[in-house]
């Protein structure tokens, strides 16, 4: 049953990504009722298009992050709430740029699944990091690719 829900959620994600395309630097926001577990949440990394932030210098990450969170706030009340939680949870100096944010459940608990573009200090954004955080900002899962 979880596998069927995951496949359905993945199809929704793919459709939304195709609809938004690469033209926008706004993070993709999804609220489709997906359910993830520790075993399957990392598959979200395979569905995300990092857009034009990949290859940008990590020295620009704070500005790109601020811009991304501002754009997320412009995508409706639920997305604005997600942006606020991300802002409270991760410090301004966090060198990650949110590119995908999803309201979902993680291990049957309401959560945000966040994918960020990251990179090494003095380098370029070229990797992806995934987080699952609960409604208080508690980290439930993190991983990189």
What SS3 state is found at 145? coil
Q: Where are the domains of the chain?
A: 2-144
Q: Each residue of 36-77: pLDDT tens digit?
A: 999 999 999 999 987 789 999 999 999 999 999 999 999 999
User: Rg of the Cα trace of the chain?
Assistant: 14
| C-beta of residue 98 within 8 angstroms of C-beta of residue 68 | yes
Instruction: Return the bridge partners of 128, or none.
Output: 117
What SS3 state is found at 106? strand
User: For residue 90, is pLDDT > 50?
Assistant: yes
Angle at 79 between CA 77 and CA 85, to 5 degrees: 105
- Enter the pTM of the model: 0.81
- The CA distance from 70 to 65, in Å, is 9
């Amino acid at each position: 049953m979880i596998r069927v829900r995951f496949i359905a959620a993945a199809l929704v994600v793919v459709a939304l990504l195709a609809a938004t395309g690469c033209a926008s630097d706004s993070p993709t926001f999804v609220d489709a009722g997906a359910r993830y577990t520790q075993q399957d949440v990392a598959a979200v990394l395979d569905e995300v298009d990092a857009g034009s932030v990949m290859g940008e210098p990590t020295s620009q990450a704070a500005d790109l992050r601020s811009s991304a969170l501002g754009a997320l706030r412009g995508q409706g009340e639920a997305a604005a709430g997600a942006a606020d939680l991300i802002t409270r949870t991760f410090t301004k100096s966090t060198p990650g740029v949110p590119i995908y944010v999803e309201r979902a459940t993680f291990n049957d608990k309401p959560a945000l699944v966040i994918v960020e573009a990251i990179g090494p200090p003095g380098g370029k954004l070229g990797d992806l990091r995934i987080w699952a955080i609960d409604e208080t900002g508690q980290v439930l899962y993190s991983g990189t690719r």
